[in-house]
């Protein structure tokens, strides 16, 4: 079920649009898109299009990095055991594996550990501390977590383990008692590296280690290639964790995508192949829908070590077997997700309609897929959603939010009902007593009620109204320079009205859930795919349409052919009234 959208047409200063078009040799439409991404001058546009990695800020600008690098270099020299302790999502996996690869290339005695979140819990839990001791660790480096693990870090530091925290999650009022804390949130919010992902922080630390080497060693060793492959891994974590693709994140993803296309890492080659992405010019969405779901499936189904082994693997045969196993897990994940989604919808039907947030617990909720299901329910309800698996005494929850409601902050305010929690404003996880879900729900509803009551309708921000004949390959080439697109740098969204069907619409996909169309409002028809609009096939065939869409190169006819990805579709009276 898709909620109806409000279309909001964005405005831009016509003089700025002309200036950018003329000075940067862009079409007026591409110049408009650039202006709507916050570019206010020709110099700003030239800086935005500067994608050389040399413009990355120094690693030393990240607070804590100098102390962390100094300790790691001592450990390498002395042969002390270093444990890189990651997280089971794509950001934590890729970040821990890229840092582990760099440390290994530098000659470190290093191991990479990624806990099974469905069993061991989140971050440095009791099981996590036991794993650190089992590895006889001298130096522990966390990746993508640790900033809130006060008790565990204090215990480890007292026992002689030097803890180096690298994280990008919510900055607490007090830093944990680690030897070093590396977190981009400690930077000024305007800093180019302030919004790095966990993998982005790990990549910067790897760069910092590389920069300490003598010039001759940098040139003679294969460390530059390790860093290049680290870019590919960092881009995956950055996109998968849905951090804003602005500043350094945009640079890392732009170059990382190119490296993914030509990677020599056995695991990434196998993953790219099984996702059907060989010989393709990769975009951020290929990470979101191709690479990430397969890696995430391992963590969701309690077999995260398969993903860890794949990303550290150097043997092509072994990598193909591991990638195949991940692909099978992803198929199982889809089936499990569908079952949990149906159960959640049943419970949602009984949930108070006027509640500003949805908090539900159930023993049928599988902890590995509730985050995905929560995201779907947010799309249905327009409200923050927190789902908790109560299969055992310890309930494990995952939530997704909407703009304007900081879910991680709300959970911290409800710490009386929660064992542990972490995350971002838009997504968070927790562990709690399974019997206290109702109490947590009441508290969270109270917090949510302070911020808003009736959720606003979802809004699509339209860059421009266009005619379909304006969608041509040259425009796609120009728009590609504005990308990669994702959170914080959204793909251009255009609207067209008075659109006719050149041929009858066709329902495609599982259960006919999607709509394939040939559209025109001029002489040249274009193909379009409307995901999730299959039920509107009959309405779409009954008259003219208005649609909001993003153009892209055709996945089937090649880059010289433009196709449209429809974000919203208005039929009947809604279309006749205009956009």
The lowest-confidence range among 4-8, 82-86, 157-161, 286-290 is: 4-8
Residue 108 DSSP class:
-
Q: Which two tokens stand for residue 73?
A: 């270099």
- State how far the Cα of 478 lies from the Cα of 218, in Å rounded to an integer: 36
Residue 578 has pLDDT above 70, yes or no: no
Residues 378-427 have pLDDT tens digits of 988 989 999 999 988 999 999 999 888 889 888 988 888 998 887 878 88
Q: How large is the angle between the packed helices 316-349 and 292-300, nearest 10 degrees?
A: 70
Domains and CATH numbers, the chain: 6-11+459-576 (2.40.50.460), 57-326 (3.90.1640.30), 351-451 (3.10.310.30)
DSSP string covering 461-503 = EESEE--GGG--HHHHHHHHHH---BTTBPPP-EEEEEEEESS
Scanning 390-452, the segments in alpha helix (DSSP H) are 407-413, 437-451
- State how far the Cα of 170 lies from the Cα of 263, in Å rounded to an integer: 33
Give the DSSP H/E element, type plus range, for residue 226. Answer: helix 223-240
Give the DSSP H/E element, type plus range, for residue 385. Answer: strand 385-389
| Alpha carbon separation from 419 to 48, 126, 399 (Å, rounded) | 44, 12, 16
Confidence bin at 9 (pLDDT 50/70/90): very high
- State how far the Cα of 245 lies from the Cα of 94, in Å rounded to an integer: 17
Q: Which two tokens stand for residue 316?
A: 């092509």
- State how far the Cα of 409 lies from the Cα of 442, in Å rounded to an integer: 16
- State how far the Cα of 164 lies from the Cα of 179, in Å rounded to an integer: 6
Angle at 71 between CA 158 and CA 156, to 5 degrees: 20
Write down the pTM of the prediction.
0.88
Mean pLDDT for the chain? Answer: 92
Contact 155, 173 (CB under 8 A): no
Confidence bin at 575 (pLDDT 50/70/90): low
CB within 8 A of 81, min separation 6: which ones?
Answer: 75, 109, 110, 111, 135, 136, 137, 138, 139
Peptide linkage before 62 cis (omega within 30 of 0)? no
- State how far the Cα of 121 lies from the Cα of 487, in Å rounded to an integer: 28
Confidence bin at 148 (pLDDT 50/70/90): confident
Q: In terms of DSSP bridges, do strands 420-423 and 81-85 run parallel, antiparallel, or are they unpaired?
A: unpaired
Residue 159 pairs with which residues in a beta bridge?
none
pLDDT, residue 128, reads 84
């Amino acid at each position: 079920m898709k909620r109806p959208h409000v279309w909001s047409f964005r405005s831009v200063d016509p003089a700025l649009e002309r200036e950018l078009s003329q000075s940067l040799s862009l079409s007026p439409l591409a110049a408009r898109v650039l202006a709507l991404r916050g570019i206010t001058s020709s110099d700003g546009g030239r800086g935005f299009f500067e994608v050389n990695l040399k413009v990355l800020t120094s690693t030393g600008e990240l607070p804590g990095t100098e102390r962390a690098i100094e300790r790691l270099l001592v450990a390498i020299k002395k042969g002390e055991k270093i444990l890189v302790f990651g997280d089971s999502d794509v950001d934590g996996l890729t970040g821990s594996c890229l840092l582990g690869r760099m440390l290994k290339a530098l000659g470190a005695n290093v191991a990479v550990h990624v806990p099974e979140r469905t069993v061991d819990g989140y971050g440095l839990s009791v099981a996590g501390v036991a794993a650190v001791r089992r590895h006889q660790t001298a130096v522990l480096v966390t990746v993508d977590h640790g900033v809130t693990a006060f008790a565990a870090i204090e215990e480890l530091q007292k026992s002689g383990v030097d803890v180096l925290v690298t994280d990008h999650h919510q900055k607490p009022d007090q830093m944990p008692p680690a030897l070093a804390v590396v977190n981009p949130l400690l930077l000024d919010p305007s800093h180019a590296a302030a919004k790095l992902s966990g993998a982005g922080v790990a990549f910067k630390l790897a760069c910092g280690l590389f920069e300490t080497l003598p010039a001759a060693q940098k040139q003679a060793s294969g460390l530059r290639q390790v860093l290049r492959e680290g870019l590919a891994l960092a881009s995956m974590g950055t996109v998968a964790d849905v951090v804003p693709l602005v500043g350094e994140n945009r640079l890392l993803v732009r170059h990382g995508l190119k490296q993914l296309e030509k990677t020599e890492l056995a695991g990434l080659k196998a993953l790219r192949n099984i996702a059907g992405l060989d010989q393709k010019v990769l975009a951020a969405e290929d990470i979101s829908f191709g690479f990430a779901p397969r890696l995430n499936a391992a963590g969701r189904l309690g077999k995260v070590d398969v993903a860890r082994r794949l990303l550290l693997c150097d043997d092509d045969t072994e990598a193909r077997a591991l990638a195949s196993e991940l692909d099978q897990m992803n198929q199982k994940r889809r089936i499990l997700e569908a079952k949990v989604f149906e159960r959640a919808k049943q419970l949602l039907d009984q949930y108070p309609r006027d509640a500003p947030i949805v908090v539900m617990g159930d023993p049928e909720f599988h902890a590995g897929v509730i985050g995905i299901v929560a995201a779907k329910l947010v799309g249905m309800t327009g409200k923050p959603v927190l789902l908790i698996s109560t299969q055992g005494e310890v309930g494990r929850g995952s939530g997704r939010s909407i703009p304007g409601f900081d879910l991680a902050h709300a959970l911290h305010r409800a710490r009386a009902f929660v064992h542990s929690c972490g995350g971002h404003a838009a997504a968070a996880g927790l562990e709690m007593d399974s019997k206290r879900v109702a109490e947590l729900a009441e508290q969270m509803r109270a917090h949510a009620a302070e911020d808003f009551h009736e959720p606003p309708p979802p809004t699509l921000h339209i860059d421009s109204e266009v005619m379909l004949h304006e969608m041509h390959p040259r425009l796609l080439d120009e728009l590609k320079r504005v990308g990669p697109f994702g959170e914080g740098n959204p793909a251009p969204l255009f609207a067209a009205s008075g659109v006719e069907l050149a041929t009858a619409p066709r329902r495609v996909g599982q259960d006919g859930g999607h709509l394939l169309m040939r559209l025109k409002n001029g002489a040249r028809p274009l193909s379009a795919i409307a995901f999730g609009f299959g039920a509107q096939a009959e309405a779409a065939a009954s008259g003219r349409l208005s649609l909001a869409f993003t153009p892209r190169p055709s996945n089937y006819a090649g880059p010289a052919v433009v196709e449209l990805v429809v974000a919203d579709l208005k039929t009947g009276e809604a279309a006749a009234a205009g956009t």
